[in-house]
Amino acid sequence: MGKLVITDECLVPRRMTWISYSGPDPVGFLSNLRKNLRFIFDVSSTRCMEKKLLWDYTGDPIRFYNEWVVKKEFSRFTNMFVTLRALGYVSKGKKDGDFSLELYGEIKNSFGNVNWFTKYIWIFYNYMFYAKMRESYVHMCRDYINNFMNWCKEKYGMKTVTTAEASLEMLADEGMKERREETGEES
């Protein structure tokens, strides 16, 4: 028996969204993130999973990568998955730094034990009734992600960036740093 899975992305037309943080103690934000995810997404602690935690202590700015997944069940057939990825650095001496947090959300509708007869019943049911529910679940997923982003902006002063903006800012900051080093100016 097969399984029918329909996946809808929450942040259409963009696939992902990013928020960035720059300031003191970015690791403090990340260490409390799991507890905050539970309350913002209204899930139990078993539904917030920290998948990866990678640290690079070799250089002066300590680089880190952290990944979480939040799973929320909407119905018997539908689950919401929100993936959060943080990539950034922390200065060893000053304990300040920055990171970017990438947010991606999707709704998975799955119907198990599919044969030719139940597949057509599911397609008819989906077309007649469940399509509007799927659409409302996508809107709910988008609202959860927006609420999380607004909470981050209010509490920590984070800002929303696109990849083009983030890379331009980074290049501008590196260019300014190189000019200061060449001229001997202090920031």
Q: What is the model's pLDDT at position 82?
A: 96
The helix/strand/coil state of 10 is coil
Residue with tokens 């190189």: 178
Q: Please report which confidence band the pLDDT of residue 167 belongs to, taking 50, 70 and 90 as the band edges.
A: very low
What confidence tens digit (pLDDT) does each residue in 71-118 have? Answer: 999 988 899 999 999 988 888 888 888 888 999 999 998 888 778 888
Contacts 24+ apart (CB under 8 A), 153-162: 153/19, 156/21, 156/23, 156/29, 157/21, 157/23, 158/19, 158/20, 158/21, 158/101, 159/19, 159/20, 160/17, 160/18, 160/19, 161/18, 161/19, 161/20, 161/100, 162/18
Residue indicated by tokens 């929100």: 82
Domain that holds residue 171: 2-183
Give the helix ranges, DSSP H, for the chain: 26-31, 33-41, 116-125, 131-156, 163-183
162-174: string of b/e by CB count within 10 Å (b at 16+)?
A: eeeeeeeeeeeee
Residue 23 has pLDDT above 90, yes or no: no
Res 70: pLDDT: 95
Indicate the number of domains in the chain: 1
Average pLDDT, whole number, for the chain?
Answer: 83
pLDDT of residue 103: 93
| Residues 143-155 pLDDT 10s | 999 999 999 989 8
pLDDT higher than 60, residue 5: yes
Round to whole Å and give the CA distance between 72 and 80: 5
What would the two tokens of residue 139 be?
């809107």
pLDDT(187) > 60: no
CB–CB of 6/134 below 8 Å?
Answer: yes
The answer, yes or no, to whether residue 121 has pLDDT greater than 50, is yes
Highest mean pLDDT among 3-12, 57-66, 133-142: 133-142
pLDDT of residue 118: 83
Per-residue confidence (pLDDT) for residue 142, from 0 to 100: 94
